[in-house]
Amino acid sequence: MAADARDGAADGRSWSVAALLTAAFCSSSAALALTTVIGKQVYDLTGREIDLGLLGLAEFAPAALLVLVTGTIADRFDRRLVAALGAAGEAVVAAALAWYAGTNPTSAAPIFLLVIAFGVCRAFVAPAQRSLPADLVPAERLPWLMPRYSVTWQGALVVGPVTGGLLYAADIRLPFAAAAGLFAVAAVAVTTIRLPARDAALHAIDLVPASTAEVLSDAALEAAVEPSAGHAMAAPPARAGLRDAMEGLRFIRRRPILLGAISLDLFAVLFGGAVALLPAIAKDRLGVGAVGLGWLRAAGGLGAGAVTLVLVARPVRRRVGRVLLAVVAAFGVATIVLGVTRSYVVAFLAMAALSGADAVSVFIRSTLVPLVTPADKRGRVLAVENVFIGASNELGAFESGVAGQLMGTTGAVVLGGAATLVVAGAWWRLFPALRDVDGFPEGDWETADSP
């Protein structure tokens, strides 16, 4: 009987891992297809680098403004439902973009408004979906799952841009319609994930007042779970206040490893956000159209995917902090190469190299951050990290767009790569706790990186 129960749990977890990876792949492919073709569409309409930066700002602003709301919701409600509803909203926005593209638009203003709506949906999806891997498997299995989770992202980096570029060349409406379908599939897939009973019960504890949760014993915890369904029984939610919502920020500030890892990504990619200028690089410096742009974006996925496959077989386990800082420096060097070249082949290789370096960084951060964050705070911490990631990517795109408008595409990209090198060197000295991390923690997150 006990063996049958274990086999059933293993089968359920295998299905849930497959559903999680399917949702992540479809959602990421759709988002990257949209990013590629929207940038192309807007640059064709306006011809201004700064508009490429404004697209990033439009997508980033909702995540920043809603950070206290999205993280709290991810912690206080079923994360699967939050992610599914957000993906459904993204599908609606993609369908609206398909309709607008079919009207032969002459103004980019409606596109910016729809990108803001997309950013709102994404702000809710990100902390909920990114919390699910750590909810689904035990801590010791997370370094096994995260490279596989990253492979879906790297695969999406190839499939999304290439598909978007090819469909855009065939019919401007097609990539948006395809993205809407992929978001719908992601919404359905995430609802089929079944979380382990204990994780569901821990989630339920966050729905009751803290004074009650603190005195619940393990026996009471198990009693709060419906054994046959593996879901927590309903509990009356406590009213969330500002202090509760701010807990993610406070927790990060008190943990030097968390603060260093998250802020490293913020500043490194903020200055090295050359990807946002790819439509301008492709058209003005390399002389290629939508298909060439799609493959240039896909080069990042090919490089990152190759590195991630290596990580699946041989994940980074020692000298984690030093490896993280080294790959950020490599990211800066490859960005400089991308900025100075006029060769499509060299640009393709530079994109592959910088994305390969970023893949190692993503693996380390996406494994380290959940492991040093307790389950009841994970949604709020990852919501804050999502804002930092958004700041590094979308706000970095805005910085690159402004710099490109002021000093040209080449100057903006080279300056950004040089600034990334400076950030890597500065963080080596400013965050010795991060630099000296040797392996991933397997527990003791309460004290492992306390100041």
Identify the pLDDT of residue 94.
Answer: 94
- Report in angstroms the alpha-carbon separations of 257 from 6, 146, 170, 384: 36, 19, 48, 15
Under 8 Å between Cβ of 332 and 264: no
Q: pLDDT tens digit string along 353-370?
A: 988 888 888 788 777 777
Under 8 Å between Cβ of 378 and 359: no
Q: Please tell me the least confidently modeled range out of 46-60, 197-211, 277-291, 378-392.
A: 197-211
Q: Which three-class secondary structure state does DSSP give residue 232? A: strand
Identify the pLDDT of residue 244.
Answer: 56
Instruction: Looking at mean pLDDT, say which of 93-102, 140-149, 211-220 comes out highest.
Output: 93-102
CA–CA separation, 178 vs 300, rounded Å? 21
Instruction: Indicate the residue type of 47.
Output: G
Under 8 Å between Cβ of 390 and 60: yes
Identify the pLDDT of residue 271.
Answer: 64
The alpha carbon torsion through 416, 419, 424, 429 (nearest 10 deg) reads -160
Confidence grade of residue 383 (pLDDT, cut at 50, 70, 90): low
Judged against a pLDDT cut of 90, whether residue 184 lies above it is answered with yes
The structural domains of the chain, ordered by start, are 2-435 (1.20.1250.20)
Identify the pLDDT of residue 386.
Answer: 63
Helices (H), ranges, 341-395: 344-371, 378-390
Written as six digits, the tokens of 207 are: 């729905």
| Half-sphere exposure for 277 (CA within 13 Å, toward CB) | 32
Judged against a pLDDT cut of 50, whether residue 173 lies above it is answered with yes
Under 8 Å between Cβ of 356 and 306: yes
Q: Which three-class secondary structure state does DSSP give residue 447? A: coil
Identify the pLDDT of residue 96.
Answer: 95
Q: pLDDT tens digit string along 217-267?
A: 333 333 333 333 333 333 334 444 455 556 667 777 777 777 787 778 777
Judged against a pLDDT cut of 80, whether residue 170 lies above it is answered with yes
Q: What angle do CA 297, 385, 383 make, to 5 degrees?
A: 110
What average pLDDT is seen over the chain? 75
Identify the pLDDT of residue 185.
Answer: 94
The average pLDDT across 438-451 equals 51
Q: Please tell me the least confidently modeled range out of 57-71, 145-159, 215-229.
A: 215-229
Q: pLDDT tens digit string along 74-124?
A: 888 888 899 899 999 999 999 999 999 889 888 888 999 999 999 899 888
Instruction: Looking at mean pLDDT, say which of 144-148, 184-188, 239-243, 436-440 comes out highest.
Output: 184-188
Q: pLDDT tens digit string along 23-36?
A: 989 998 998 888 88
Who has greater pLDDT, 1 or 331? 331
Q: Which long-range contacts (CB under 8 A, 24 or more apart) does 196-202 make?
A: 196/9, 196/13, 196/135, 196/136, 196/230, 197/222, 197/225, 197/227, 197/230, 197/231, 198/222, 198/225, 199/135, 199/136, 199/375, 200/225, 200/230, 200/231, 200/232, 201/225, 201/232, 202/375, 202/376
Q: pLDDT tens digit string along 406-434?
A: 777 787 788 888 888 888 888 888 888 88
Supply the DSSP symbol for 283.
Answer: I
Instruction: Indicate the residue type of 413.
Output: V
CA–CA separation, 375 vs 200, rounded Å? 10
Burial environment of residue 104 by CB neighbours within 10 A (0 to 12, 13 to 18, 19 or more): exposed
Who has greater pLDDT, 22 or 266? 22
Kindly report the pTM of this predicted structure. 0.61
Confidence grade of residue 207 (pLDDT, cut at 50, 70, 90): very low
Q: CB atoms < 10 A from the CB of 103, how many?
A: 9
The average pLDDT across 183-200 equals 80
Q: Please tell me the least confidently modeled range out of 75-89, 168-182, 321-335, 365-379.
A: 365-379
The average pLDDT across 325-341 equals 88
Confidence grade of residue 10 (pLDDT, cut at 50, 70, 90): very low
Q: pLDDT tens digit string along 64-87?
A: 788 778 878 888 888 889 989 999
Identify the pLDDT of residue 206.
Answer: 44
Identify the pLDDT of residue 203.
Answer: 47
The average pLDDT across 135-155 equals 77
